Every structure is written in structure tokens, then in C-alpha cells.
Chains A and B, each alone.
Chain A
Amino acid sequence: MDRIDADFVADALRRAAARLDAQRGWLCALDGEIGDGDHGTSMANGFDAIARALTATPPARTAEALRLAARAFLAEVGATAGPLYASAFLEAAARLNGPQDLPLDRLGELLAALAAGIARRGKAQPGDKTMLDVWLPAAQAAQRAARDGAELARIAADTRAAAAAARDETASLMAVRGRAARLQERSIGHLDPGAASGAEIIFALCDAVTDRASRGRAR
């Protein structure tokens, strides 16, 4: 089976960069509703910096790719998103540092590691209307599908569906962290921009999985 190797990580992060660039305006508009209106710009620029760094010095190992991503993102993005995603990548680099790369059906472990890095740095709780509200359910969905013995395409589909549902669910939540907390109950009814961008990154990871899976079948 294909593995979560450096090429997979690089491919997924490039796909994330393309998705975030395409959704730049939408994410800024979401952020303009309840925040400071620059989330699309900072996420798209941050992942573009990651993609450029991966091209400049192609990493050989998974953990190296993740550390490179952390460094590039930290140099480009400030606010809370910068350290949160950098911490996500660093946590994943620490956990996916074994002698052998994880098989692709353990995508959930990569997602869980990213979520753990975000949680450790940001100290948000589930339901606080943050990016964590998509990362945790997506990781759980991927792990559940793998436990059920689902094939790769199904794992990716379940993860994608969980991320989309969780993203939409943030509209019903009241923000208690970040600038949106200022709005209290008025933040209800708006998607959380951090959850929306997080879902795009998760979709990119799922795209990378299904692409590998279909190429595997073609072989």
C-alpha cells in the first residue's frame, strides 16, 4: 500500500495551497463578517510559501517535509493562525518520525497529530468555534473508517464529509475565542473562517489520498 511519505505530504500541501488560493476571496469575506477580513489572504499566502519552500528544497523524509512546512508558514503568517498551523506541522513531524512511513489508510493519525498540535498551542476546546472544530471530527472520521476496514477511497470520502459537516456546524456555535468573541451571540449564523480554511486543507489531504488510491488501482 502507498504510504504517507514526503511526496504525499508535499502533494497534499500543494493541493491545499491551490485550494486556499481559489477560496481566498470567500475566506476573506467570511472573516470580514466576524473578524478582521484577512484570513483568506494570510492562509493562501502561507500555504503558497509552503509550496515554494517544498519546491526549493524537496524533502526526502516525511518529518522533514512537515518541519519545512512549519518553518515556511511561521515566516509568512502571524496572528494566531501562524503558530497554530506551525505547531500542527511540528507535532505531526514528531509523531510521524518512525523508521517506516505510515500506510495511507492511517491518514487519521496524521489528522489527529495536526489537530493535537493545534490544540496544544491554542488551548481551544471543542465547540469554541475554531479550526479545531473541523480538525477533530475529521481525524475521528478517518480513524473510524480505517478501524472499520474501509478502503482508501471510502476513508477519504468519510473524512471529507465529516469536515464539510463540521465546518457547516460552526455556524451554529458562538465564538468564545479570538476577535469573533467580541460579537458573542451575534457570531452565531456565521461560519468560522478558521474552520472553513481548515476544511479546505483537509479536502486537499483527501484529494491526495484518492489520487494515490486511483493511481494504485491503475497500476
Chain B
Amino acid sequence: MQRFFNNPDDIVDETVAGFVRAHRDMVTLSPDNPRVVVSNWAGTQGRVGVVTGGGSGHEPAFIGYTGRNMVDAVAVGELFSSPTAKAFHDAIRAADGGAGVAVLYGNYAGDNMNVKMARKMAARDDIAVDTVVANDDVCSAPASEREKRRGVAGEIFMWKVGAAKAAAGADLAGVIAAAQKAIDNCRSVGVGLAPCTLPAVGHPNFQIEPGKMEVGIGHHGEPGERVEDLRRADEVADDMVRIVLDDHALPAGTEVAVLVSGLGATPINELYVLYDRIERQIEAAGLKVWRPYVGNYFTSLDMVGVTLTVMALDDELKELLAVDTACPGF
């Protein structure tokens, strides 16, 4: 493994330091907590605040979605580990503009526990907090147990929609409802070709054998639906579209937003190879791609792989997705 780092224990602090330096036109580090990144527009009086947070190693998620008409404050965890409850609490305080705070995060055990405890702390500050828990990863649990599914790249649409709703002046319940609708309308699937390595560990904690791929893999290498021989890009794209649409019976003519994200070590050109086929397959299924996003939006260190997210749209979601934003990740 050849990677750029100093002391592996310092990677997160150094990532955040470089991030806020590079994007100082949009974000700053909380003066109260070195593990909270705050939008330069956070805390606007009378506007609902939007908070997220999660483990590091997924850049540009989560910090990259902090900005104008986007997330107000992000709690930063260790690599692939939930942030502390205190970081979530400090993020909530930084985002608060007196109209309550929506915490929009992904369904992982650590995040659930830490957000729950942070919410209790915020109640003592008299800050109204409500949450939406993203669960868009189709292969992480059957449809009948959707509450067990993990959150993946659909979270980006959840943040965008929730934050745009807050920017439009909605109250906390309105922001929560919009973010919930966004994630309810999202389905995602991941395919992994090679595992990722935490620099402090030095070896991958799971393997994908040469010539194989793991269909349905999670953002931290959680097991997929199946391991099978690597196939041509078009066949992989077809499989991903099928998995996502099979879980999501959408009427013909439905407009969708499509997000294809690399997992960190997939060449960008391969994302376009996949996207070309993905869009044609989605349109062949009778849907209409309203807005595509292709790039490294939500990664997993140096994992080789890709995720596909499809969000079904209505007029409200289209309007909110179209709201002008400024953040490093988009």
C-alpha cells in the first residue's frame, strides 16, 4: 500500500485542516470543536439549521456538502467511525438559528447512538431537533425491513432537498418532511471490485478475489448480495439498474435524478462508461432522467467500485434540487 499520510492517527485532523483551508470561502472550523465543520452561512436567524455527520474517509462526504443552501454544520468522525455525541451536539448548536435543527444522517449503529445522545443534550439547550435517517442501500436488507437498510449516496439528495427546503423558509416539520420524502424516493446499490485499506491498519479487512466483483457492497465493505465473476461494464450497469428499479416500482414516465459515484479508486472515465449504459437502461425502463450527477460524490477511501442512486422526482423535489447552492462537494 502506497498512500499519502504522515502519522495515521493524524489523518482526520489533517484532512479537516486542509479542507477548511482550501474552502475557506464556504466553510470554517467550529471554534468550539475541531471536529465540527461549519458553513459560512450557518446560524441564519429564523431559518431551520441542517446538520449531518459521519465517519471520515468518504470525502467529499460529509464535509463537502457544507455550504450555502446546503448543510450548515457537519460532525466529523474518525475514519469509518461515527462522530462523538458531543460533535453532533456542537454541530447542532452551530446550525441553530432559533427555528430548530434537522439532523439528516445515515443508518449506522454508531451514528444512531451518538445522534440520539446529542439530541438529548440539545434538548437541554432548548433547541428543537428532529431527524431523518437515510436507508437507501437496497442490498443491505430486504424491502420488508427497510428500517434496517444503511444510508449511502442517497444522503446527498436528502441533504440537498432538506437544506433547500430550509433555505425556502420552511419550518422544522417541513424540512423533515421534504428530506424524508427525498430519501424515501431514493434507491442505491454499490458494486465493489477491490477493497479499501485504513492506513492505520495497513491491510484491507476484507478481500475481493481477482476476477471477482461484489454486487451490493456497502460503503465500508459490508457484504453484498453476491460475489460473482467480473463482467463487462454494460452488464454491470444493467445489473445495477435492475436491482435499483426492481426495488422501486415507478410508473412509466417518472422523472428521476441519477447519481453515479466512484468509491475512491475508480477512474472517472469508467464512471462515464457505466453512466452511458445506465441512462439508456433507465430510459428503456420508461423513466426519464431529469438530472444526472457523475463523479466522486461519496467515496470509501481507496475502494474500487461504484454506487448508483436513483431518486424519483415530483415537482417539489425538482424545484428543491434546482435551488442554487455553493458547497465544495457539488
The stretch among B126-134, B199-207, B283-291 that forms the contact with chain A is B199-207
Answer yes or no: A182 CB below 8 A from chain B CBs: yes
Task: Encode contact with B along A78-107: 1 for CB under 8 Å, 0 otherwise.
Answer: 111011101000000000000000000000
The stretch among B109-117, B143-151, B261-269 that forms the contact with chain A is B109-117
Known pairs A74-B117, A182-B205, A182-B223; A38 contacts B84 (CB<8 A): no
Alpha-carbon gap, A93 to B83, bound state (A): 24
Known pairs A78-B114, A182-B206; A41 contacts B9 (CB<8 A): yes
Residue in B80, B82, B87 whose CB lies within 8 Å of A80? B82
Let me know if A182 and B221 touch, CB within 8 A: yes
Residues of chain A contacted by B86 (CB below 8 angstroms): 74-76
Alpha-carbon gap, A78 to B221, bound state (A): 20
Nearest CB to that of A45 among chain B residues?
B9
Answer yes or no: B242 CB below 8 A from chain A CBs: no
Let me know if B201 and A36 touch, CB within 8 A: yes
Known pairs A34-B205, A35-B205, A182-B205; A86 contacts B117 (CB<8 A): yes
Residue in A42, A77, A178, A182 whose CB lies within 8 Å of B109? A178
Nearest CB to that of B118 among chain A residues?
A74
Let me know if B110 and A79 touch, CB within 8 A: yes
Task: Encode contact with A along B57-73: 1 for CB under 8 Å, 0 otherwise.
Answer: 00000000000000000
Nearest CB to that of B206 among chain A residues?
A182
Known pairs A78-B78, A82-B114; A37 contacts B200 (CB<8 A): yes
Q: Chain A nearest CB: distance from B187 CB in Å?
A: 22
Let me know if B198 and A36 touch, CB within 8 A: yes
Best-surrounded residue of A76, A77, A121, A178 (most CB of chain B within 10 A): A77
Answer yes or no: A165 CB below 8 A from chain B CBs: no
Residues of chain B contacted by A75 (CB below 8 angstroms): 84-86
Known pairs A37-B200, A178-B109, A182-B222; A78 contacts B83 (CB<8 A): yes
Residues of chain B contacted by A28 (CB below 8 angstroms): 200
Answer yes or no: A147 CB below 8 A from chain B CBs: no
Let me know if B78 and A42 touch, CB within 8 A: yes
Q: Chain A nearest CB: distance from B91 CB in Å?
A: 12
Alpha-carbon gap, A75 to B86, bound state (A): 5
Answer yes or no: B318 CB below 8 A from chain A CBs: no
Alpha-carbon gap, A84 to B82, bound state (A): 13
A-B contact pairs, 13 of them (CB 8 A): A32-B202, A36-B81, A75-B84, A78-B77, A78-B84, A80-B109, A80-B113, A86-B85, A86-B117, A178-B109, A182-B205, A182-B206, A182-B221
Besides the known contacts A42-B78, A78-B85, 20 further A-B residue pairs in the complex with CB atoms under 8 A apart: A32-B202, A32-B205, A36-B80, A37-B201, A74-B85, A75-B84, A76-B84, A77-B84, A78-B81, A78-B83, A79-B82, A121-B113, A122-B109, A122-B113, A178-B109, A182-B206, A182-B220, A182-B221, A182-B222, A182-B223
Where the two chains meet, the residues of A that have a C-beta atom closer than 8 Å to any C-beta of B are 28, 32, 34-38, 41-42, 74-80, 82-84, 86, 121-122, 177-179, 182-184
